[in-house]
Amino acid sequence: MTDEEFLARLVAMTDREDALRIIDASLHEDRTVYAPATAPPLSVNHCDSFDDMIALASAKSLGQFDRDGRPLWEVSVIEHPDGQGRRIRHACTVFDHLVADGRSMYLVQQELLGRENTGTGHGRYRDWVSWQNREFSRSGSAAATASPIGEFWLQHLNGTPADRATPLSFATDEPAPRQLITMLNACAPVSGDAVRAAARRLRTSPFVLVLAAVASLLAVDTDESDLTMRVIGSGRPPRFANTLGWFADSLPIRLHDPSLRDPHRAVTVAGSAWSDILRSHYVAPWDYVVDVCRPDDATDTEFDRKQLVINFFPHDLGGMFSPDIPEKTGPGDIDGIHLLIWPRYDGRFGLRILFNPDHFAIGGARSFLDRLARQITTLTEGDG
């Protein structure tokens, strides 16, 4: 496309989307500030080679956005010559984590490539925020419990807390855990197309196939048939399916069946539970569900540090999950053990797990990740 076409798409997107006009936001102070209008934060950079372009894009992705009145995102067009000296251009988009979720990044990618969804689902982000505040008021749990959504979650969890620990065979008991995060990687040798085809064959979705692989492996490892996990969901009602902004949230999912060890039985159980949740109840905020479903005798209001959180991305997000990020342990705080799963650019499925090594044994986590890759492959290829 021409420079003019790219800029026109960028301007149209910026003019339309509330979230792209956010110039300040804080979760701790419950504050969001919108600019009345703003030009696209576009820059043009020149590099001498493809490798230099990758290095520059990687450096930009690690940057921080100051709350100084400018937008909390940026687009960089990075130019470099190819082997024949021709001009090659790449677009690098970077967002503050309060401005865009994974679905938003996919939508931006598609729109800038001229593949945007021109149908419904472009509601205003601020209308969604107002609706959430009205629908899920924290003024009192009695009214919340009596609502249809509150009643659903009480029935789904059946007296268990939303944030209860997931049974994991490699969990440890460190009395004084440090603030650390370990990251491990693995790959399943199956493509996104293969997983989608397997899901159609099993009459389910790719996410449910992955969820079933996790659940059956946990059941085999721990001999438990009652599991609660946390799932990162889109949080988007149909009206906002194609709106940019941070919608993603956590939801509990409880799978309770004596035959969870069988991965194909786990597909049925997971599919039924997820279908129930998708009937409008997936839009409930995590804090709301935790409050409504907290047992009367509960005293600890923190998220359980040993709950498994599953974050499944149905699309390759164009470098968001770089295969070059090394495994490491470093300072940080994490609430639970997070499992990320996504189709990679190279025809495989990527798996990444992040956790506090004082809460989970590194060797056990690595074994779990490798066996999960094999379990996904088994379900995808139709064996077993």
Q: Which CATH architecture has domain 160-381?
A: 2-Layer Sandwich (3.30)
pTM of structure:
0.84
Question: In the predicted model, what is the mean pLDDT of residues 262-270?
Answer: 95
Over 80: is that where the pLDDT of 384 sits?
no
List all residues 6 or more positions away from 194 whose beta carbon is below 8 Å from its beta carbon: 380, 381
* pLDDT, tens digit, 9 for 90 and up, residues 161-176: 999 999 999 999 777 7
List all residues 6 or more positions away from 63 whose beta carbon is below 8 Å from its beta carbon: 94
Question: What whole-number distance in Å separates Cα of residue 42 and Cα of residue 55?
Answer: 19
| Comma-separated ranges of CATH 3.30.559.30 domains in the chain | 160-381
Please state which CATH number belongs to domain 3-99: 3.30.559.10
Closest alpha carbon to 210 in 379, 382, 381: 379
The SS3 call for residue 313 is: coil
pLDDT at 143: 54
* Structure tokens, 216: 């059956």
| Comma-separated ranges of CATH 3.30.559.10 domains in the chain | 3-99
Query: Which of the residue ranges 55-64, 110-119, 254-263 would you say has the lowest mean pLDDT?
Result: 110-119
pLDDT at 173: 79
* pLDDT, tens digit, 9 for 90 and up, residues 221-244: 999 999 999 999 888 888 898 999
Question: What whole-number distance in Å separates Cα of residue 2 and Cα of residue 90?
Answer: 12
